[in-house]
Structures are given as structure tokens and as C-alpha cells.
Amino acid sequence: MTACSIEPVATRRHPRDMRQAKRYAECNGDPELTNNRCEDWIAPRTSCPACAGMTFRNRMASRAFTLIELMVVIGILSILVGVLAIAVFDVFGKSKEAETDLTIKTLDSGLKRFNDHMKFFPPGNLYKLTSGYMATGTVIMDPNSTNTGIETLVMALRSQSIEGGRKIDNEFLQTYQSNVDNDAIQENFANVEGALKLFEIRDGWGHPLIYVNLDEARNDPLMLATPMAVTNAEGAIQQIDLNKLLEYIVDPETKISAARSWCIWSLGEDGINQYGRGDDVTSWPKIDADLPEEPAEEE
């Protein structure tokens, strides 16, 4: 073996290059150097192919990750991504809930303004709105009997035919209106451009809000006996039992109804009606109690 032509340089405390120093000594056949403490020596940059090759391999080995190290890093990154994703979705969900709460408060303000001028709250369907409360000469009915409560409320609040004009501004409507069930009427009794479409107001998740005139429901046996059809953002229809609604808005501790003359609520993130419980967002103080258990059906 050809001896290296460059002498090693004595250096203190370089443990990472111990193997290079030893290899250099073996390459030069210097037993004295080989027996010395290897950490006191490092191999210089040299033209010796054996030394140069060993130096390169050692350098690469010192820089590379082992398979176990790589798996540990990937595992840590996966945990961090999971934790971050949960935090982001939690913030995202809370922002939609806050947006929905603000939307309901805006409708609450419009309802109070409507009541101040008309001395009643909008009814729960177009037939009652156009046949008595806001007589137009033509009785109008919802063509598909779906989302009737919120559609009637929107039509009443945006109408310029009532005293004091519209009760919600156009910017709010353009931001939150939707027409999930794609229905319309034939006569523009509300005297508003584009009022032939029966718009709903959507929540933060895109589900139409639900509106019920509770005074009307409590005094109308036919209304109580007729389920109210509503849809979520995907158009899936759910039936609202008004008898259950009147039961579920009662605080189980005080036995007092948490909503008085009317109520508005959102289906929440899951898009499933829970009559104001669960993740539903409500116009009345939230009742945290679970839904009452349904009685078992007799066989």
C-alpha cells in the first residue's frame, strides 16, 4: 500500500474523526501512531484514495439519518400536524358559530322593528301573511311547503309595502340569503326587486335557519298537528314537530319556556335538528340538558 504523502495534523478533541485518524495511521503503517489516542488525531485532506474514500464515507455517515431517526421525526411531525389540525378546525367551527349567532341577532333586531310598526310578529307561512296580516288582494302560498317559516320571515322583513319599509338591509340579504329548495312565487307583493324568489337566511354552515311564531303555534291546533318541513345545506328534508319544539324550549329546572313569542335556530355544524339542543345555535338562552327520551313504541 502506498503511504500517504501528507502528514497528519495533530489536533485536540475531535471525536467524530477518530476513525479517520486511525485509518490514516493504518494506511501509513505507523504502529506508533496507531497505538496513540485516536481522538488526538484527524486525517488531513489527502490525495490518498483509501483515506479520501474513508473520509467521504464517514462524512456521509455522520450527516445521514438512520431509518429509526427518520421514523421518529415523521412520527413527531404527524403528531404536530394532528394537533394543529384539531386547533384549526376548532377555531373554524367556533367562528361559524359566532357568525350564526350574529346573523340570528340581526334577524332579532328586524323582528323587533317589525313588531314596533305592525304590533305583531310575522306569521309562520305566506298564506297567513298575505291573507290577513299584510293583505295584498291575492292569497299566496308556499309552492313546496318547505322552509316556510324562514321564507315568510324574510319576505316580511324585506317588504317595502309595510309601514316603515324594509326591516333588514340589502347588504345583509346579499350576504346570507339562499334558496336551497329553489322555490318562487308569482306575484311580487313585497314590492322589492327580485322578491319572487323565496329566500331563506342561512347559518355559518350554509343551512337555512328555522323560524317559528310560537304565539301562533300555541293557539293553532292544526299548525301543531302539521309537521314543518325544513332542509339542510344539502337539501335533505327534516320534519319539525312543533309539539316537541314547545316541550324542548322549556327549561327543565325552572319549567319556564326559554323562548316567548317566536324563535329562530340553526341546525348547527352537523345539519341535524335537535330543537335547540346539542350543537344547534338558538335565539333563546341555550338549554344544555339532553333531549328528552322518546317513549318506546308498543309492538
Question: Which pLDDT score, from 0 to 100, does residue 41 have?
Answer: 45
Task: Using the structure block, give the residue that is written with the C-alpha cell 347559518.
Answer: 203
The CA distances from residue 26 to 9, 19, 37, 274, 279, in Å, are 15, 10, 14, 81, 75
Q: What is the pLDDT tens value at each position of the chain, 299 positions in all?
A: 455 554 444 444 444 455 555 555 555 555 555 444 444 444 444 445 555 555 545 555 555 568 888 888 888 888 887 777 665 555 555 789 999 999 999 999 999 999 998 889 999 998 888 887 666 667 788 889 999 999 999 988 988 777 777 888 888 988 999 999 999 887 776 666 666 889 999 999 999 999 999 999 999 999 999 999 999 999 999 999 999 999 999 998 899 999 999 999 999 999 999 999 999 999 999 887 666 665 554 44
Q: Which residues are CB-contacts of 28 (< 8 A; sequence separation ≥ 6)?
A: 3, 4
- Is the dihedral angle over the CA atoms 57, 63, 69, 74 positive or is it negative? negative
pTM of the entire structure? Answer: 0.68
Question: Which pLDDT score, from 0 to 100, does residue 40 have?
Answer: 46
- Is the dihedral angle over the CA atoms 64, 69, 74, 78 positive or is it negative? negative
Question: Which pLDDT score, from 0 to 100, does residue 141 have?
Answer: 84
The CA distances from residue 203 to 9, 249, 295, 298, in Å, are 75, 20, 32, 38
Question: Which pLDDT score, from 0 to 100, does residue 292 have?
Answer: 60
Question: Which pLDDT score, from 0 to 100, does residue 159 have?
Answer: 82
